[in-house]
A and B are shown apart, each in its own frame.
Chain A
Amino acid sequence: MTPENRAAYWRANLQLVSGCLLVWFVCSYGFGILLVDVLNSVRLGGFKLGFWFAQQGSIYIFVGLIFFYAWRMNKLDRKYDVHED
């Protein structure tokens, strides 16, 4: 575990976190709040799409996002050999 190795691990981590944060922002603040009126002109079954993102879709995406992050992070831990035991 060299300092360079740890720095590379941290950079990879920050990259993954930024990507996840972008998705987090776009699906809630983007689709559910800022663009809600635009998306509401599109229908998803009985829902207006913007409303659906605000009250349903964003939550599903949040759940998926955390599991995705956990899976990728656990892989990074092994790749940079910083995993536990």
Chain B
Amino acid sequence: MTLQTLTYLVVGASFALYIGIAIWSRAHNTSDFYIAGKGVSPLANGMATAADWMSAASFISMAGLIAFLGYDGSVYLMGWTGGYVLLALFLAPYLRKFGKFTVPEFIAERYYSKTARIVAVICLIFISFTYVAGQMRGVGIVFSRFLEVDVTVGLAIGMGVVFVYAVLGGMKGITYTQVAQYCVLIFAYTVPAIFIAIQITGNPIPQLAFGSEISGAGVSLLDKLDDIVTSLGFTQFTGGTRSTIDIFCITLALMAGTAGLPHVIVRFFTVPKVRDARTSAGYALLFIAILYTTAPAVGAMARYNLVNTIQSGEVGAADGNLVYDERPEWMHTWQRTGLLRFDDKNGDGRIQWYNDANPDFAATAASYGWQGNELSVDNDIMVLANPEIAGLPNWVIALVAAGGIAAALSTAAGLLLVISAAVSHDLVKGIFLPDISEKRELMAGRIAAAFAILVAGYLGFDPPGWVAQVVAFAFGLAAASLFPVILLGIFFKRTNKEGAIAGMLTGLFFTVGYIEYFKGLFLKWAGAPWGENVAEHWLFGISPEGIGVIGMLLNFFVAISVSYLTPPPPERVQHLVENIRIPRALARTDHE
């Protein structure tokens, strides 16, 4: 059976499974649609959260990023897992106790303000749409490479599948499909990693192979890798180039951002009890950790395999590099996608891959007769091409395709649901039509979900230049806007409406402004006095990726100061805070 037929079969079977689950778990009322009727077990919710959380970026891009960044890639590993500790300790159990449908709804009631609700909805929609566009692009890449269909057709199929289970099933449908998607994606991620770990080190567990000796070489994988990459002018794999303060801030921005992402928070509204929310956060991180501890191993092994393929002999020897005409089959296939490019600058018919941006290495490279780096590899292909590079059987490759699609679809569905809930529950019911019937609100939710899918599809099909860049900043924005006011709302009773609104707006404007100043994402014309990302000009040496931390601190500072300068929140709000702090329902009489 050819690879393509096999891929169609595996991907088709996974789609049939998702749609089957969606029909079985249709939503019947708004509680089903928004929070799966609060009937999800902590273990199932943990799996669903893991699938919801791990996006196309985690599955497809992260290991590739680490392969090229080495130690600097740790910001993603720690940042995207450590956030769950904050979520479990500070937010999940209390928001579950609050027991409503959406994040802006909590902000509206805690801060007794429609303005606060609208600000929260704006933050939520901005964060979620930038994020969802990235997922749709991921679906497009996988479809065009493995099913060899047009990106547009691939996107349309993906949108159709999400449409069926998100619109029909709401949160309930999404939850149980995500459980299935988690199983598909984790299997697809670990199987090739295990095969490659055995090939390189003989140890089947990737997390251990990562620190093992290369079979027959008597030297550990990481030492060997450090050795080869430095001989080609790159930074050591276990060392980095970013400054300590920048690493610190990016990690913190990603952690606080993770804890402030609405589509993650809302997953904890779906479990039956407060104590389930706590345990469920543990399960979620456990399931996430399986992929996140495998990813750096995959990254290191992929880098090792790739560098060994290109640098087949001694560095600098005339016959030390791969002859272009003898390149392996997988390079042919990936060259067709444009994600792998080769340019024979010195005309020797061989491929040289080295760091030509390193001034200290320039003289050495010249003495080898190298005239510039000749290979460019897109980060995104490392995981997808890995099974081919390692020569694994076709069914593994088909599985990886299904896993990548599962990762992208599960996250897209979760995001689309919070967008539709923000529209139908927070805007339509909460602000414009408070008397709307439940049946019509459910209909509004479904229409909003369908509309959001179309917008997401458009963004994925024809992403405006800034979409891909903005995704990384969604975390900074979540950290600077939503996370502090939710946290203060629970732990600091004195925070009032004025403080929360001032805090959110300060965090949001500061962070967007800083990013705009250095990246020029939204408004930029030739000669505009901003948009130059010059590291020397960064505030305290913090890159735009990590600036959300400063935005977050400003938000905390402004929210607390303004709260002290204005009247305290009313009695009923203080009672609400008392109530969410304890798991058992608080009777009116308990308060006296």
Which residue numbers of A lie inside 8 Å of B, CB to CB?
Answer: 1-3, 6, 9-10, 13, 17, 20-21, 24, 28-29, 32-34, 36, 40, 44-48, 51-52, 54-56, 58-60, 62-63, 65-67, 69-70, 73-74, 77, 82-84
Contacts and interface: CB of A to CB of B under 8 A. Distances in A.
21 contacts: A20-B85, A20-B89, A29-B248, A33-B74, A34-B248, A46-B210, A46-B211, A46-B213, A51-B71, A51-B74, A54-B77, A58-B77, A58-B78, A59-B78, A59-B293, A63-B285, A66-B85, A66-B281, A74-B275, A77-B275, A83-B275
B93 interface: yes
Contacts of A17: 89-90
B278 interface: yes
Interface residues of B, number: 50
A79 to B, nearest CB: 12
Main secondary structure of the interface of A (DSSP, over half): helix
B316 interface: no
Contact of B71 (A1, A34, A54): A54
Interface string B263-279: 00000000001110011
A84 B279 CA distance: 15
A29 B79 CA distance: 10
Given A6-B578, A54-B74, A70-B278, A77 B583 contact: yes
B221 interface: yes
Contacts of A63: 282, 285-286, 289
A62 B292 CA distance: 12
A60 B74 contact: no
A66 B583 contact: no
B296 A55 contact: yes
A29 to B, nearest CB: 6
B293 A62 contact: no
Interface in B555-575: none
Contacts of B583: 77, 82-84
A60 to B, nearest CB: 7
Given A28-B78, A63-B286, A73-B93, 6 more contacts: A28-B82, A54-B71, A54-B78, A55-B296, A60-B293, A62-B84
Given A32-B74, A45-B211, A59-B292, A84 B273 contact: yes
Contact of B582 (A6, A33, A44, A65): A6
Contact of B278 (A36, A46, A58, A74): A74
A2 B578 CA distance: 12
Contacts of A51: 71, 74, 222, 238
Contacts of B244: 33-34
B78 A47 contact: no
Contacts of A83: 275, 583-584
B491 to A, nearest CB: 8
Nearest to A36: B71
B543 interface: no
Contacts of A84: 273-275, 583-584
Contacts of B247: 33
B275 A70 contact: yes
B251 interface: yes
B81 interface: yes
B181 interface: no
Contacts of A10: 581
